[in-house]
Amino acid sequence: MTNALSPLQHNCCLFADDRSNTMPISKQSAAWADQIPASQPHDHLSILLRIADALDRIAPKPLEHADLLTFPGYAWDGAEGSLDPVPEIDHVPLSALVGIEPQKEAVLSNLRGFIAGVQANHMLLWGARGTGKSSLTKAVHAQLTKEARGRLALVEVPREHIGTLGKLLQQLATIDRCFLLFCDDLSFDEGDAGYKSLKAILDGGIRGCPKNILLAVTSNRRHLLRRDMIENERSTAIHASEAVEEKVSLADRFGLSLGFYNASADDYMAMVKGHLGELASSMDEEELALEADNWARQRGARSGRVAVQFARHVATQQAHLP
């Protein structure tokens, strides 16, 4: 047998749960106060007003439209439904990204068109770890920030908040600015239904994606799914091809899909020298190449990330030399 809520408990629930109303809670309390029966004790009303004021103080404040036009980047908190400004985005110079010229030109061209108002493609950057997928996204954004004078904002969306993309789109759709939603290292595991939300936004949902919003997703998996998940669908489904198609079709909804691979020896050395800058010219070239190659062998790959780490290692060593 359930107990009925008292008038005080009922009103407290209203204050705590009604988050869809955009009116500040303190103002809501004044409006609701008129609906409280005259027979209700005055001390109950005082308690309700104090609760409302307290909730109003701790409630997250949404960013004003002016704020969404100001910063180069934002971090999306899907749990709170808030955007945290990022005054300065960590990135490497676009010129330091060597060996991925086709990918670089494709991303630049796509985003330039997006800023110009052309209907551009959502982007999936997939491939081996450390090959420059996220670095390229941030470097291109930095380049276009200069070209377009801040017209393009980068919004980082954590993987675990993919299911809240609908709320984010609602906040950004009416802002007079272009937004690139950036989700790094995205993949889906068994039982993860987040891909359905993403698929509806990319293509298929009746709302679609607002014209001022574009997605850039990086992943180590071409289809955003583990290979064993795809094989499991084939082996257990009644219609294996249909089950696999449901999972794999997510990657197909990105209009621009770019692969990234480990760098050649020459490209790797070009990256190392690019990150070392003038310091590279003061070192013996053969010795530098040997050390860089040994560093890459220890890490099992030649990639942009490995080149950056080696350059930092050399810089710290040189700083301690007399």
At 188-209, the pLDDT tens digits run: 776 666 777 787 788 756 677 8
Q: What are the DSSP calls for 8-19, one per residue?
A: HHHHHHHHHH--
- In this prediction the pTM is 0.72
DSSP strand pairing (152-156 vs 256-260) = unpaired
**HSE-up of residue 26 (Cα within 13 Å, Cβ side):** 7
Res. 167: pLDDT tops 70 = yes
pLDDT in tens, 30-75: 555 555 555 555 677 788 878 877 776 666 556 666 699 999 999 9
> How many residues belong to the chain?
322
Q: State residue 142's pLDDT score.
A: 97
Helix (H, G, I), strand (E, B) or coil at 167: helix
CB 81 within 8 A of CB 165: no
Distance between CA atoms of residues 26 and 18, nearest Å:
13
CB 128 within 8 A of CB 260: yes
pLDDT in tens, 251-289: 888 999 999 998 889 999 998 998 888 888 888 899 999
Res. 13: pLDDT tops 50 = no
How would you write 252-319 as a 3-class SS string?
A: HCCCEEEEECCCCHHHHHHHHHHHHCHHHHCCCHHHHHHHHHHHHHHHCCCCHHHHHHHHHHHHHHHH
